[in-house]
Amino acid sequence: MSTQAAPAARGVGVALILIGIGATVTSLSIDLDQYGRWGARYFPLGGSITLVVLGLLELRGAKVSAPTDRRHLPAIGALLILSLAYIWSISAFGYLVSTALAAPAALWIFGVRNPIGLLAAGVLCPTIYHGIFFVALGVFPPLGQYFDLLDVIGGY
């Protein structure tokens, strides 16, 4: 086997680099918060730069691999559908309700079947993420068009 990267692996590396560069440029266009700080830029920028680094690593170390195992394609498809439904539901019902539903669904896709664990994810994930992003980092939460739990509990 050659140590040179396979054409498909090179394509993946180049795609990751290009997507990472585009995401970096887009991340830098996110407005500063009301105090002139980066606030909402940190996580998208970190993820964007990580994509560039992963693309470089892929170009550097990719080798020809065995044929792909396709057993996980249904779970990948379910996760894609869940992510699209999650983005839509955030705009319709707000961050807290959407995350409370999406977190256990994602864990279910990954094989978690313990009802207590799924219930805990539905409560803890939105609570912890809200604390990190919207309270500690000061990012304004996306509000739901039809209903938003933050209107009920009086938070932001």
What pLDDT, on a 0 to 100 scale, did the predictor assign at position 3? 46
Residues lower than pLDDT 70 in the chain: 1-9, 62-67, 151, 154-156
Domain ranges of the chain: 1-65, 71-156
Nearest to 144 by CA among 89, 105, 103: 89
Q: Which amino acid is at 141?
A: P
Check residue 65 and give its pLDDT: 62
Task: Determine the pLDDT at residue 125.
Answer: 95
Q: Please give the Cα distance from 84 to 125 (Å, whole number).
A: 18
Residues 96, 156: Cα–Cα separation, whole Å: 11
pTM: predicted TM-score of the whole model, two decimal places: 0.61
């439904």: which residue's tokens?
Answer: 85
**How far is residue 88's CA from residue 142's CA, in Å, rounded to a whole number?**
11
For the segment 7-36, what is each residue's pLDDT rounded down to a tens digit?
666 778 888 899 999 889 888 887 777 777
